[in-house]
Structure 1
């Protein structure tokens, strides 16, 4: 890996890590990057705005004495020139980056809102669109170029819409913190009372307000995050079903298979076979 000066913004296609695959489509540069165990990324900026999707592994983001964690299926949008904190990938990993040219970005209504701050997505339409975009990237055909461009525009529109909705609904800070805790630890053993204790509210209040703002229960939200993560691992890795189930905190593989089928209407092995055949 070439050393890139920290003081200079990274040019399109430049990343700390090893490039695995790349595709340039209509002003969108898509890149799959792998990371070795113990990989450290210094603080840096990028010339272009971009989405990132964690395909495998966990990234610990460090800012001073605090740190946060990005797990498989997490999606971020970063504006151009935004300073990124240091990151450590203790077990390596794989990420998918979608860099957006300025011309394409200007096609989105309210695009100026997307030039001010980074936005995290851990579940919801943006994550589903990112997963579909990755599949198009991996399974290219004669229609892939137009499909990719359309998906990126959808992601940008949804990104702007989510930012507007988030501002308008005034989600309580403690509830946003509870959601962040879920995002960072959904593969671990979480309880409603444990989350409520961390954000200093009553469990009943947490359950009620969570459904009010996010339109589902805490348990359903966690299961959905696990299944989205499983879908990415099934399509982007060779991990066994038992390994995926254990890594996501399922008590046994049969429980994982039942839950996956309830959400996806097919088994994990069936999902993997369909992905490989397409």
Structure 2
């Protein structure tokens, strides 16, 4: 089984940024098949464009744009790439990087498919910082990474608790329901009292129901910005913003740049 050392990834590396304990890599996936392998350090894979299939000992992930995976250093996996252009952003972390922040990497075993939209939005923020500021953004990126791991570990603790059945159901609903659906409609579908749902949602998601839904909309918009066949108006409609102006205002409030500026960062390798 192949063992990849620090900074090594299969494919064509477009750009590498090295910081203390951190390596950021922008990589084009060029291999149709990458056999079982593992890496010297733990790292994130964030799919920016295209699609790749990744398998490990437990699961197989169909990774389209916006997919975020975390791999611990000793966990083997393989990749198959369907036809078409695929590009990923990797953040590799030296094992000693975690210690000063009190992050216990042993609690993050295996290959983890991260679905929390809050964590994904932080990853997009890391990408933005790297593309805008390069080596001058180490402080900002470290702070974002610590926040990401805080949320990931918090989510892991929540998963270990007993949770009501409605928690998994509402995750699916919030990605599917129309924007104009009311709290009472959601509560009725889950067979809950709306006050109970509103009060207990934050216990299981660490944010309000409204905040969670807004994060889903922005996450979807960020994925669609990688596709040139979608105009800003198309994205605003697809993500249920009132109009393009509302989309731009919401996006700029979150990222301090416009969607068009972010698209240029995303597509200019």
Deviations 1:22-69 (A, max 9, x none): 111011010011124x83332221110011211112223346997432
TM-score calculated relative to the size of structure 2: 0.70
Question: RMSD of the alignment, in Å?
Answer: 4.2
SS of 2:145's equivalent?
A: helix
Residue 228 of structure 1: CA displacement? 1.5
Residue 154 of structure 1: CA displacement? 2.6
Deviations 1:90-117 (A, max 9, x none): 4331111000011112223241444523
Residue 229 of structure 1: CA displacement? 3.9
Matched residues in 1 for 2:27 and 2:42: separation? Answer: 17
Q: Is 1:239 matched up with 2:224?
A: no
Q: Is 1:55 matched up with 2:48?
A: yes
Structure 2's unaligned 5+ residue stretches are: 179-187
Decide whether aligned partners of structure 1 residues 143 and 15 sit closer, same or farther in structure 2, where only a CA change above 3 A counts.
closer
Matched residues in 2 for 1:173 and 1:48: separation? Answer: 36
Decide whether aligned partners of structure 1 residues 172 and 55 sit closer, same or farther in structure 2, where only a CA change above 3 A counts.
farther
Aligned residues: 248
Matched residues in 1 for 2:211 and 2:162: separation? Answer: 23
TM-score calculated relative to the size of structure 1: 0.68
Residue 131 of structure 1: CA displacement? 0.9
Q: Is 1:23 matched up with 2:11?
A: no
Matched residues in 2 for 1:228 and 1:16: separation? Answer: 27
Q: Is 1:273 matched up with 2:261?
A: yes
For 1:1-278, what aligned pairs fall within 5 Å after superposition?
Answer: 7-36=1-30, 39-62=32-55, 67-140=60-133, 143-167=136-160, 169-171=161-163, 176=168, 179=171, 203-205=189-191, 211=201, 213-214=204-205, 224-225=215-216, 227-231=218-222, 234=225, 237=226, 239-242=228-231, 245=234, 250=238, 257=244, 260-261=247-248, 263-264=250-251, 270-273=258-261, 276=264
Deviations 1:112-166 (A, max 9, x none): 4445233322233321221111111111267412222332233233322322233
Matched residues in 2 for 1:48 and 1:41: separation? Answer: 18
Decide whether aligned partners of structure 1 residues 173 and 52 sit closer, same or farther in structure 2, where only a CA change above 3 A counts.
farther
Matched residues in 2 for 1:30 and 1:251: separation? Answer: 29
Residues 54 and 96 in structure 1, CA contact (< 8 A), matched pair in contact too: yes
